[in-house]
Amino acid sequence: MHQTLIAREDLERRVTELAADIDRDYQDCENLLCIGVLKGSVFFMVDLLKQLQVPLAVDFFQTASYGSDTEPGEVRIRKDLDLAVRGKHVLLIEDIVDTGFTLRTILDLLKFRGAASVKLCALLDKPSRRQIDVPIDYRGFAIEDKFVIGYGLDYDERYRNLPYIAVLEE
């Protein structure tokens, strides 16, 4: 069995808190675009967005996954957005910020395309692994440098459907 790191109830409570913060900050915003990074952020994103009152649009990016032959720090876009970003207030939603390379690439791209503002919401943060600085505006939990699974996070495409976050047993 994998050891539970963040229980289902703790995830639910924290997601509700994050949603309240986001709703408050964007209450007067009329063109909020919430962008998820496939596939890991989907479970978190659905739970979060269902609790928002502010009007919003939804879109997705997919980047090259871990374990590819890509050089560290070089991020490929596998699936681009459907919607235009120019003039939109973008909230980028990620499962976990590790080295920061993925997020840095996406944040720069969104700014380059003319987003009115870009903020980042990440469920998990592994600060000790960071190689490139990315500001996290809404952070669920800071965790130690352990490989985690569940609630969207996978190991070799497995375990995404666990309703809690666990540490992968080697």
Q: Which residues bind ligand IMP (CB under 6 A)?
A: 40, 66, 94-103, 147-148, 153
3-state SS, residue 113:
coil
The H-assigned helical ranges of 26-100 are 42-49
CB of 31 to ligand IMP, least distance (A): 26
Q: Which of 22, 33, 35, 40 binds Mg ion (CB under 5 A)?
A: 40
Q: How far, in Å, CA of 170 to CA of 164, rounded?
A: 18
Nearer to ligand IMP, 51 or 62 (CB): 62
Q: How far is the CB of 19 from ligand IMP (least distance, A)?
A: 21
Q: Of 124, 128, 132, 127, which Cα lies nearest the Cα of 104?
A: 132
3-state class (DSSP) for residue 49: helix
Catalytic site residue from 95, 98, 125, 154: 98
Phi-psi label, residue 132: left if phi above 0, alpha if psi -120 to 50, beta otherwise: beta
Nearest approach, Cβ of residue 37 and Mg ion (Å): 5
CA geometry: angle 52, 105, 56, nearest 5 deg: 20
Which of these segments, 2-10, 16-24, 37-45, 68-76, binds Mg ion (CB under 5 A)? 37-45
Assess whether 59 carries a catalytic annotation.
no
Q: Where in the sequence numbering do the catalytic residues fall?
A: 98
Q: Which residues contact Mg ion (rule: CB under 5 A)?
A: 40
